[in-house]
Structure 1
Amino acid sequence: MNTLTEWLAHLESAHSAGLIDMGLARVGEVKNRMGLQPLCPLIIVGGTNGKGSVCAYLTQIYSEAGHRVGTLTSPHLLRFNERIAINGEAVCDETIVAAFERIEAARQEISLTYFEFNTLAAVDIFMRAEVDVMILEVGLGGRLDAVNVFDADVAVITSVDLDHQAFLGDTVEQVAFEKAGILRGGKAVICGQVPVPARLADHAREMGADLLVLGMDFDWVNSAQQWSYRFHPQHSFLFSASRARHALPIPSLRGQFQLNNAACALTALECLNHVLPIDIGAIKRGLVRVHNPGRFQILPRRPLTVLDVGHNPHAARALRQSLMTLPYAEKRCAVFSMLSDKDINAVIDILKDQFDEWFIAPLNVPRGRQAQDIENVLNQHGIQKIHVFDDIQAAYRAVAAQASENDRIVVFGSFHTVAEVMQCIGCT
């Protein structure tokens, strides 16, 4: 295998148990063989939704402050390289291939999944680049996710809700326990969920982790065209000093939920400020310049077009809140598709009153839901104005051709749905 394309094609089928095989033993052994022990501060970000945005805030602000930042995120939208970035810039094919080759040499008899290769490659690349801080986004859950072979100096859990039930459980408390697996005793764990799930709080107490909670240990206030952040730890054993950040610019990431994500990121900065100091100028620049494509991304065009990768009920509720803040639209059109293992009934029930017409198509991936199935579910929810296409790009082209400048187009339901449209319009 000489190219990244060849490597990725190989990794998609190389592991006998498939793309998902939860557990830390195999990846932990290869990590030890490779001597992957980060010497810089490490932040692990988990949660049902908001992980990517928190990683984006941290990456941009640390970069603005002059620190060298390595960031692992997933999944990607257009190119695999997006997953492994230094100072927000995706690393090149050759760098990833070299890391894959080192992993291949070290693993010997041990079989690894696609994501395990991805995680080890990212940390290997970051260590060789001598970054000042690593930010690792959890891929699935937390307790048994590959990133959890590394010890977080600060863990962030943005939100807890149902998703990936086959792997994480059927209740919010079961999901909370899985996500709490990334915290470490004697270290800070930041929770943006209010109220805190009982099993997360219990696990933090049992582990001796310092739990910092939104609304109790940190909070934010929105006022007109700016906002304020306050860090005021109440029951912390690691932190006692308070800090306030006033007159902060509204983040460039759109959506009603983004100030929660930004506040979680600023709290992580506070936790590491003694080793990675950040000035207020870097924070303000980072908030204005941060970018995270596909998260309530409003394109600079008419009609108003929104891209949102939301694919579960929690994300659907956030999308609904954000859509309701937008200006009036004469006709509201959805370009929509979902994967077959997602809760399509709940997502449609939450968002059905936000659209006048639906443009649907299947996703050309193994887990893609068929168009007939999507149409049947929409009909069950009383939705009649449905247009069916062979693929998402055809669906988008059709709605774009007929929409007036006063209409609104919202593309949502999956990373794959958004990626298809981004490719269609040359969006980055």
Structure 2
Amino acid sequence: MSNNTSTEDQNKPSLSWSLSTWLDYLQAIHSKSIDMGLARTQQVYERLNLDFSNSSVVTVAGTNGKGTTCRMIEMGLRMQQQTVAVYSSPHIIDYTERVRINGLMLSEQEHVNAFMQVEHARGAISLTYFEFATLAALVLIANQQPDFVVLEVGLGGRLDAVNIVDPNLAVITSIALDHQDWLGDTRELIATEKAGIMRPKVPVVVGEPVPPETLLIAVDKMQAQPSWQGKEFGFEDCDTSWCWYNQSVQFSDLSIPLIPMQNASTALQVLSLLGHLPRNQDEVNELIEKSSLPGRFEEISQQPKIIVDVAHNPQATELLAARIGRMKYTQLHLVVAMLEDKDIAGSFLPLESLKANWYVASLNVPRGAKSKQLKTVLTESQKVVEFEHVSDALLAATKNAGNDDLIIVFGSFFTVSEVLQAS
């Protein structure tokens, strides 16, 4: 009897479990990786009795640009001595990347402690990995009582676990086709899902320059207080510099940002509404210099220059192609691995007009596409070589590249993670 009890105890979640053991547990306790709906998460959240009344909450949704927009908001607030907590996903290398407190990650044990708190609160309620992780992140953030909380939506908006927290300001960075099985197969349907993070009478900053009609209708119906890109605020690309404006200020001759201009513009309007806009051009340029994120057009090597980017849908690769177009190089090498449920053909299209050598690799994760699937999408005029692993594809590209060549690795968070862990 005692031996059986001991075995059972060993299988029960414990503060002595490692973070990796907990993450395996989170993967196993729910039958689906995605299970849309807030009822279960809301119930556990209420049991946790977390208090965010002393913090201003900013919730950020969008097809692309969420992470970089969150980063620039975070850095802008920190530059003005505000305390800031950020929850974002997915992580690239280390799970603890998902929660930042004043720019720093917390210890694995702090995450374990938060997992245990959620485990006790949930009882018999089943949670997905993301729902459990989100609740644990909220526990960690509530413990810190920061001035500002920045929450990145994982999928959609209306039914995402992050949406259990009422924001003081909502942000929609962009609207494009992605996660169509869950969100709908048109921009109009996807916009409606993103709009679900809005609240009545609460400001919403819309970074999408061409919003679908359904978003305008949703804003009006919700009686939200909108700031539209191109109307209440906006930017102009001047090739070697850019300018930004809103209804009360304009900054000219700014440094080209490390993140997409559309997202930088959106973040500046958020900071303006929060009362923490940089005061002058020098401060904006300092903010631009500090606003970068791993895996987002990140340079990891020179001679040849190697850049990794998590771009994994047509809107993101269109931006990637535009950024490549600004660069000087002798020969372009594109290393790519993607998930099979992404729009592979649409994602490749913006890059196909670039004269490049393609290195397509299998992505060895669940839902990962095989190299053959990627190769069949490319036209016969493209120079394409297949590889079983991303690391092998990058090694081949590096061997073939001259010092003045450019290597771009893209296609998925998993793709970039594999490269960064190997470097």
Matched, 1:86 2:101: yes
How much has 1:349 moved relative to structure 2?
2.1
Could you tell me which residue of structure 2 aligns to residue 356 of structure 1? 356
1:349 and 1:399 map into 2 onto residues whose CA distance is 21
Partner of 2:388: 390
How far apart are 1:229 and its partner, in Å? 2.4
The equivalent of 1:29 in structure 2 is 43
* CA deviations over 1:18-76 (Å, ceiling 9, x no partner): 11111110101111110123121000111111111100101111112111110011111
Tell me by how many angstroms 1:246 deviates: 4.8
Tell me, yes or no, if the aligned pair for 1:65 and 1:282 is still in contact at 8 Å.
no
Matched letter for residue 216 of structure 2: A
Q: Tell me, in whole angstroms, the C-alpha distance in 2 between the residues paired with 1:145 and 1:8.
A: 20
Matched-pair contact (CA < 8 Å) for 1:61–1:285: no
What is the identity, as a one-letter code, of the residue corresponding to 2:222? M
Q: Which residues in structure 2 correspond to 1:324-363 (within 5 Å)?
A: 324-329=325-330, 331-363=331-363
**Structure 2 match to 1:3:** 18
Secondary structure, in 3 states, of the residue corresponding to 2:353? helix
Q: Distance in 2 between matches of 1:312 and 1:342?
A: 7
Structure 2: state its 5+ residue gaps.
Answer: 1-12
2: CA distance, partners of 1:283 / 1:384: 41
Work out which of the residue numbers 149, 155, 158 in structure 2 matches 1:143: 158
Cα deviation for residue 250 of structure 1 reads 3.4
Report how many aligned residue pairs link the two structures: 406
Tell me which of 399, 402, 406 is aligned to 1:401.
399
CA contact (8 A) 1:62 1:278 kept: no
Aligned residue in 2 for 1:48: 63
Q: What amino acid does structure 2 have at the position aligned with 1:259?
A: M
In the alignment, which of 116, 119, 122 is matched to residue 101 of structure 1? 116
- Verify the 8 A CA contact 1:320 1:351 in the aligned structure 2: yes
Give, in whole Å, the separation in 2 of the partners of 1:149 and 1:278.
31
Match of 2:367 in 1: 367
SS at match of 1:261: helix
Tell me, yes or no, if the aligned pair for 1:201 and 1:211 is still in contact at 8 Å: no
Residue identity matched to 1:33: R
Alpha-carbon distance between aligned partners in 2 of 1:262 and 1:283, rounded to the nearest angstrom: 10
* Deviation digits for residues 331-390 of structure 1 (CA, Å, limit 9, x no counterpart): 211111110100001112221122422112211111101122222222xx2245222222
1:263 matched to 2:265: yes
CA distance in 1, matches of 2:303, 2:421: 18
1:414-425 matches, within 5 Å, as 414-425=412-423
What pairs with 1:256-295 in structure 2 (closer than 5 Å)?
258-273=260-275, 279-280=279-280, 283-295=284-296
Cα deviation, 1:277-319, whole Å, max 9, x if unaligned, reads 7654654432211221111223341112121110001111111
The residue type paired with residue 24 of structure 1 is L
8 Å CA contact 1:161–1:314 kept in 2: the answer is yes
Residue of structure 2 aligned with 1:191, choices 206, 213, 234: 206
Cα 1:383/1:109, change in 2 over 3 Å: farther
User: How far did residue 121 of structure 1 move?
Assistant: 1.4
Once residues 195 and 285 of structure 1 are traced to their aligned partners in structure 2, the CA distance between those partners, rounded to angstroms, is 29
| Residue identity opposite 1:140 in structure 2 | L
Asked if the contact 1:62/1:282 (under 8 Å) is kept, the reply is no
Contact kept, 8 Å, 1:142 with 1:180, in 2: the verdict is: yes
Whichever residue aligns with residue 31 of structure 1, its letter is Y
* Displacement of 1:248: 4.2
Secondary structure at the counterpart of residue 70 of structure 2: helix
Alignment-mate amino acid for residue 265 of structure 1? A
Question: Are 2:201 and 1:203 aligned?
Answer: no
Query: Which letter maps to 1:142?
Result: G
TM-score, with length taken from structure 1: 0.91
Q: Quickly say closer, same or farther: Cα 1:272–1:343, change in 2 above 3 A.
A: same
Contact 2:307–2:409 under 8 Å retained in 1: yes
Please give the secondary structure, in 2, of the residue aligned with 1:354.
coil
Aligned partners of 1:32, 1:270: CA distance in 2, in Å?
A: 32
* Change beyond 3 A, Cα 1:80–1:355: farther
CA positional deviation for 1:102: 0.3
Identity %: 38
Structure 1 residues 225 and 402: alpha-carbon distance in aligned structure 2, compared to 1, 3 A threshold:
closer
Q: Which residue of 2 aligns with 1:250?
A: 256
- Cross-structure match for 1:237: none
How do 1:154-173 and structure 2 match up within 5 A?
154-173=169-188
Deviations 1:151-180 (A, max 9, x none): 111111111010000000011100000011
CA contact (8 A) 1:333 1:358 kept: yes
Other-structure match for 1:239: none
Aligned-partner Cα distance in 2 for 1:384–1:272: 48
Of 160-169 and 362-371, the range deviating more from structure 2: 362-371
Distance 2:345 2:64 in 1: 19
Partner of 1:411: 409
Would you say the 8 A contact 2:52–2:145 is kept in 1? no
CA distance in 1, matches of 2:295, 2:346: 21
177 and 249 in structure 1: CA distance in 2 versus 1, 3 angstrom threshold: same
Letter paired with 1:340: E
The amino acid of 2:391's aligned partner reads Q
2-structure distance, mates of 1:271, 1:140: 25
Consecutive unaligned residues in structure 1, runs of 5 or more:
233-241
Q: Secondary structure at the match of 2:210?
A: coil
Query: What code does the residue aligned with 1:295 have?
Result: R
The aligned residue for residue 309 of structure 1 is: 310
Kept after mapping to 2: 8 A contact 1:356/1:385: yes
Q: Distance in 1 between matches of 2:244 and 2:353?
A: 34
Indicate the residue corresponding to 1:119 in structure 2. Answer: 134
